[in-house]
Amino acid sequence: MGAPEPRDPEPGGPERRGTVHGRDRTRLWAAVAGAAAAAAGVLAGELGAGLVSPSLSPVSAVGGAVVDLAPSAAKDWAIAAFGTADKLFLVSVIAAAVVALGAVAGLLELRRRGAGAWLAAGIGAVGLAAVATRAQATPAAWLCALAAGAVAAGLVRWLVARLRPAAPPAVAASALDRRRFFRALAGTAGAIALGGALTAVVRGASLAVTAARDALRLPVPADPAPPVPSAAELRVSGITPLVTPNRDFYRIDTALVVPSVDPGRWRLTVTGKVEEPVTLTWDELLAAPLVERHITLACVSNPVGGDLVGNARWLGWPVRELLARSRPKDGADMVLSRSVDGFTAGTPLEVLTDEGTDALLAVGMNGEPLPPEHGFPVRLVVPGLYGYVSATKWVTELRVTSFAEEKAYWSTRGWSERGPVKTASRIDVPRRGARVPAGVLAVGGVAWAQHRGISAVQVRADDGEWQPARLGTGISRDTWYQWAAEVTLAPGTHRLSVRAVDGTGEVQTGQAAPPAPDGATGHHTITIEAT
Ligand SMILES: Nc1nc2c(c(=O)[nH]1)N[C@H]1C(S)=C(S)[C@@H](COP(=O)(O)O)O[C@H]1N2
Ligand SMILES: [Mo]
């Protein structure tokens, strides 16, 4: 630095430029390459998050961690100085820091092959660690941070490799090498521009919706959920919690990109065989008397012993009230609910109009607005039916029709038209394959038969007698129940099985069936080793 660089007097002398001043420029270009690689990595992470993890991106995770770690004086200062732009400021600082570190990685990579890539991967690891500290962390968010680090590390290595002469420096082949490098850099810049535009579109929409969601205050329910009875919780270490936190709630849908639906523009239309077509707005929905219920949602694809099932406290308006407004006509026996992304579910009309079934047009999940992944702003939740025939997320239309006339998304793809939840039970502790001390062993898990309830759970070891388990009271017949038992095991390999009896007295079948076409059956059986 300092002295102005002497101008190259010879026109068209790239070779000489490469050799005479090559060293300084090479360092400069290595830094540029590193910065570009870092920028591409950040964009890859943000674009990925926009597509699969709208609630948490690598940069927002680092931002969240910085906010949590920052002394409150610094937060006060940022809010005072930037007001509502404080988040934008923080994100800009993080992005600038990452790009600056990228430049350092470029220089390092030039000095030692692989060193810069390690630094870039290290920056990615910081993003990963930040994701790990966030409440909303999901596998998708982890993947985005991993992708960001991998893209940055790979690119810095690849770009800087193109800066090095292919042959020993004495051959002075640098003009050719530079051309290779500039082509690679231009390609990277093009990818950054394209990725940036895509990210702006995807993230812009989802950021606006996330901001709208953050600013929301859900109304107080007119009819709150009854408190969870203390006898519903069994104290068994490792058992599935009675209420599933939102971030742990399974996610199943056909949406490649999580739909961004602005509640202000959201409309639900009730159409088809009705006396009175109705259009409902977000404000009208929130103004309705909302009820709150614990309901366990299960996926038809859940295998025996699987975890595509979760229990949440949903806030919503009973669908029957809305249907009562539009008055279904004779001949209708199904409601085809449609999502903004085209997914449809076919639900029996009588389930939705039944006084005794809390089918909800849900806006809240465990005290929060629905997470984007779980259908923000509005979804259906229907106790007793698998999600594919009832739980339409991002719902925008209820079409009153008949099973004879219309088919829902999965019913045209080999799944049954009707999807009542089958009685199921699962062993959560011990885990399958566990090594446990011989003697008395604590066993526990959950069982569900939504809308019928569970009246008993039984366990057995190997081919022994079925023994009664202790059964939690459950929250309601629409939720799962915890169960616990003690079995005594001699040293050796053992099989543990569980079965439930539903509220009507029907015993869960041991007949094994796969998930398709209408839900798996069979006893969950695990093998463990007692020593
Ligand atoms: N829009 C939309 N809604 C949907 C689906 C979907 O693919 N698209 N899948 C359904 C299925 S199969 C299930 S099991 C539940 C899962 O809801 P969750 O992701 O909130 O757990 O959503 C249902 N609602
Ligand atoms: Mo599902």
The reply to whether 395 and 440 lie within a common domain is no
Q: Report in angstroms the alpha-carbon separations of 183 from 14, 113, 162, 357.
A: 16, 20, 9, 64
The reply to whether 352 and 453 lie within a common domain is no
CB contact at 8 A, 95 and 152: no
What's 306's domain CATH number?
3.90.420.10
The reply to whether 253 and 176 lie within a common domain is no
Q: Position 316: which residue type?
A: G
Residue nearest to atom 15 of ligand 1 (CA): 387
Which residues share a beta bridge with 496? 461, 526
Task: Give me ligand 1 centre to Cα 238, in Å.
Answer: 27
The reply to whether 443 and 399 lie within a common domain is no
Identify whether 180 is part of a domain: yes
pLDDT tens-digit profile, the chain (531 residues): 344 444 443 333 344 344 444 456 889 999 999 999 999 999 999 889 888 887 788 988 888 788 778 776 776 676 666 655 666 778 888 989 999 999 999 999 999 999 999 999 999 999 999 999 877 788 889 999 999 999 999 999 999 999 886 555 544 445 556 888 999 999 999 999 998 888 888 777 777 888 889 889 999 999 999 999 999 999 899 999 999 999 999 999 887 668 889 999 999 999 999 999 999 999 999 999 999 999 999 999 999 999 999 999 999 999 999 999 999 999 999 999 999 988 999 999 999 999 999 999 999 999 999 999 999 999 999 999 999 999 999 999 999 999 999 999 999 888 999 999 999 999 999 999 999 999 999 999 999 999 999 999 999 999 999 999 999 999 999 999 999 999 999 999 999 999 999 999 999 999 999 999 999 999 999 999 999
Task: Work out which ligand 1 atom sits closest to the CA atom of 374.
Answer: 20
**Last residue in a domain, options 394, 413, 432:** 413
Task: Give me ligand 1 centre to Cα 253, in Å.
Answer: 5
Q: What is the pTM of this model?
A: 0.75
**Last residue in a domain, options 351, 378, 413:** 413
Task: Give me ligand 1 centre to Cα 338, in Å.
Answer: 11
Task: Work out which ligand 1 atom sits closest to the CA atom of 253.
Answer: 7
Residue nearest to atom 21 of ligand 1 (CA): 251
Task: Give me ligand 2 centre to Cα 254, in Å.
Answer: 10
| Structural domain span for residue 461 | 424-530
The reply to whether 389 and 436 lie within a common domain is no
- Residue whose structure tokens are 């039970």: 425
Task: Work out which ligand 1 atom sits closest to the CA atom of 298.
Answer: 14
Mutate to test the pocket of ligand 1, among 138, 253, 260 (most ligand atoms within 8 A of CB): 253
Task: Work out which ligand 1 atom sits closest to the CA atom of 341.
Answer: 1
The reply to whether 51 and 193 lie within a common domain is yes
Mutate to test the pocket of ligand 1, among 307, 339, 389, 393 (most ligand atoms within 8 A of CB): 393
Q: Is the dihedral of CA 226, 239, 235, 483 positive or negative?
A: positive
The reply to whether 64 and 171 lie within a common domain is yes
State residue 77 phi and psi, 5-degree precision: -60, -45
User: Ligand 1: residues within 6 Å at CB?
Assistant: 249-255, 297, 299, 339, 341, 343, 374, 387-388, 391-394
Identify whether 519 is part of a domain: yes
Task: Work out which ligand 1 atom sits closest to the CA atom of 249.
Answer: 21
Identify whether 210 is part of a domain: no
**Last residue in a domain, options 381, 413, 445:** 413
Distance CA 202, CA 47 (A): 7
Identify whether 131 is part of a domain: yes
Q: Into how many domains does the chain fold?
A: 3
Residue nearest to atom 19 of ligand 1 (CA): 251
The reply to whether 178 and 253 lie within a common domain is no
Identify whether 324 is part of a domain: yes
Q: Is the dihedral of CA 503, 507, 508, 513 positive or negative?
A: negative
Residue nearest to atom 20 of ligand 1 (CA): 374
Task: Identify the nearest ligand to the CA of 519 by its number.
Answer: 2
Task: Work out which ligand 1 atom sits closest to the CA atom of 393.
Answer: 3
